[in-house]
Structures are given as structure tokens and as C-alpha cells.
Amino acid sequence: MLAVDVVGAGRAPGHQKHAVGEAVKRLVLMALIDSGIDPALVESWEPQGDGALLTLPASALGALVDLGSRLDEQAWLHNRRAKPETRFRIAVETGPVGTDQGFYTPKVSLCRMLEAKAFKDLFAKCRKRNDDELINSAMIISGHVRDVVFGGDYARLVRRGEFAPLEVRNKEHASTAWVRVPGVDVDTLRGLCGAQAERPEAVEPPDPPTTITTHNSAGQVNRGVQAGSVRGDINIGRTGR
């Protein structure tokens, strides 16, 4: 399942609201085609306010994750020449759903991720931190989607390492989701998500060298060695006559 929502569409003037809806349909359709997904595979296309929720066969999951990159490109091209500007929040989830529209659990999880305050705030931070014109989309996927897509060779454009973990809480939904924002490197994204960077395991320091203390004494004249601390090798022999 793919859900998209236009950021800030509610603030668009009344005469532009219809244009937003038309832009969503056109840009998503072009992104589907660019991703190699036949639009005929879309089993349902549900309008969702200023966005849409699409249901497709599970075999399209990897291509849907790649679609985020294609939709980002389409939004960038659109925003260079048309108003109102269109920026997307995108969510991808997988799970069993019926052919009829309804409140299936995977669809509810999908919408909860898309509408989570943490995800909205992250996108706003990325736009504020970077050149606003360069940030045109953000994608959030569930941990299950991440494991399935990157557990095999199912994505072509995006990589596992481009996603950062984000703790999501929205009503009854709570999970660790994974986010990608084209134009923001993953280390910066991790910082904005509040995630700790992965650190290599600590290496135990080597044991200190062993110190050998030797005391040498003799009742007669001592012609050998009198030593307090001996470090390293010492060879003692007899002097020939």
C-alpha cells in the first residue's frame, strides 16, 4: 500500500485546491509508470483529502519504495513551473487487505505513520535546515517493509542505508519506522530523528606488560648482577679465562 499527502495543501487559496488534487493524480501516475508499475495493477485508488491511498499486489512492494524517489523528481519538476507547489509525505506498508475499501489493520497503520506528528515535524525540520526548494518529499516505511525490501534484491534506486529510524506514536499506533528525505544525508537525518549513530564495538585495551623483579645476593664476592627491576631479556654467562 502507498499513501501520499500534499504538505500544506490546506493553506492553498480556494481556487487552487482543485489544482492540488489534479496534480496528485498526475504526478503519482507518472511516478508509477517511471517505476515500472503498470497502473492497471492498482487494485484501488482511494482519495484521502489532499492525497491518495493506493493498494497494489505485494509483488510491487520494492517498486513502491523506489517510487518515492520518482515522485520526488516529479514534484521538483512540477514546482519549478506550476503553482501551488506540491510537496509530498509518502508512506509504504504491506499486509493483507480486502479488495473493498475498509479499515483494515495494515491500512490503519499506514495512515497512522503518514499522519504521525514526529514525521510531520521531521519534514518541517528538513525544509527549514536546507534550501526549501530542494526538499520536495519525505518517505516513511514500516520496519517490516524495510526488512522485506532490503532483505532481497527488490529495490533498484534506494538503499537501506539511506533510511534513519524514527519513533512513531499516533493514537494506538506505536512503532519504530524508517524515514528517507531526498536531499538530506542519513547522518543529518539521524540527528534530526534523535537516533544514535551506530558505533563500533568497544575494543578492550591490552593487558599491561608483566614486570619481573629479581633480587640477587651472594655471601661471597658478587661478580654477577645486582638488579632491582628487570625488563626484557638478560643473559648472564661466565667469563672465560
pLDDT one-digit tens code per residue, 92-117? 999 999 877 778 999 999 999 999 99
DSSP secondary structure, the chain, as one string: -EEEEETTGGGS-HHHHHHHHHHHHHHHHHHHHHTT--GGG--EEEEETTEEEEE--GGGHHHHHHHHHHHHHHHHHHHHH-SS---EEEEE------SS----HHHHHHHHHHH-HHHHHHHHHHHHHS-GGG--EEEEE-HHHHHHHHHTT--SS--GGG-EEEEEEETTEEEEEEEE-TTS-HHHHHHHHTPPPP-PPPPPPPPPPPPEE-----SS---S---SEE-S-----PPP-
Distance CA 190, CA 196 (A): 7
* 181 CB-near residues (< 8 Å, 6+ apart): 122, 123, 126, 135, 137, 138, 139, 189
Q: Tell me what pLDDT residue 102 has.
A: 75
Whether 229 has a pLDDT exceeding 60, the answer reads no
Cell of 58: 505485494
- Predicted local distance difference test score (pLDDT) of residue 103: 80
Q: How far apart are CA 50 and CA 17, in angstroms?
A: 9
Structure confidence at residue 11 (pLDDT): 63
pLDDT at residue 10 tops 70: no
Residue 212's pLDDT is 45
Q: Which three cell numbers stand for residue 37?
A: 508499475
Q: Residue 215 and residue 209: Cα distance in Å, rounded?
A: 20
Asked whether residue 228 carries a pLDDT value surpassing 80, the answer given is no
Predicted pLDDT of residue 42: 95
Query: What pLDDT does 241 receive?
Result: 43
Q: What residue ranges define each of the domains in the chain, with the CATH number in brackets?
A: 2-193 (3.30.70.1230)
**Contact present, 227 and 214 (Cβ < 8 Å):** yes
pLDDT score at 156: 92
pLDDT at 86 over 70: yes
Q: Is the pLDDT of residue 196 over 70?
A: no
Confidence band of 200 (pLDDT split at 50, 70, 90)? very low
> What pLDDT is attached to residue 164?
98
pLDDT tens-digit readout, 162-173: 999 999 999 999
Mean pLDDT estimate for the chain: 82
**114 neighbors 124 (Cβ within 8 angstroms):** no
User: Between 205 and 201, whose confidence is greater?
Assistant: 205
Averaged pLDDT for residues 34-57? 92
Strands 212-213 and 229-230: antiparallel
Q: Which residue has the higher pLDDT, 212 or 176?
A: 176
Question: Could you tell me which residue, 17 or 62, shows the higher pLDDT?
Answer: 62
What is the C-alpha separation between 42 and 107, in angstroms, rounded?
15
Res 197: pLDDT: 43
Higher-confidence residue of 207 and 61: namely: 61
Q: How sure is the predictor about 15, in pLDDT bands with cuts at 50, 70 and 90?
A: low
Residue 199 has pLDDT above 50, yes or no: no
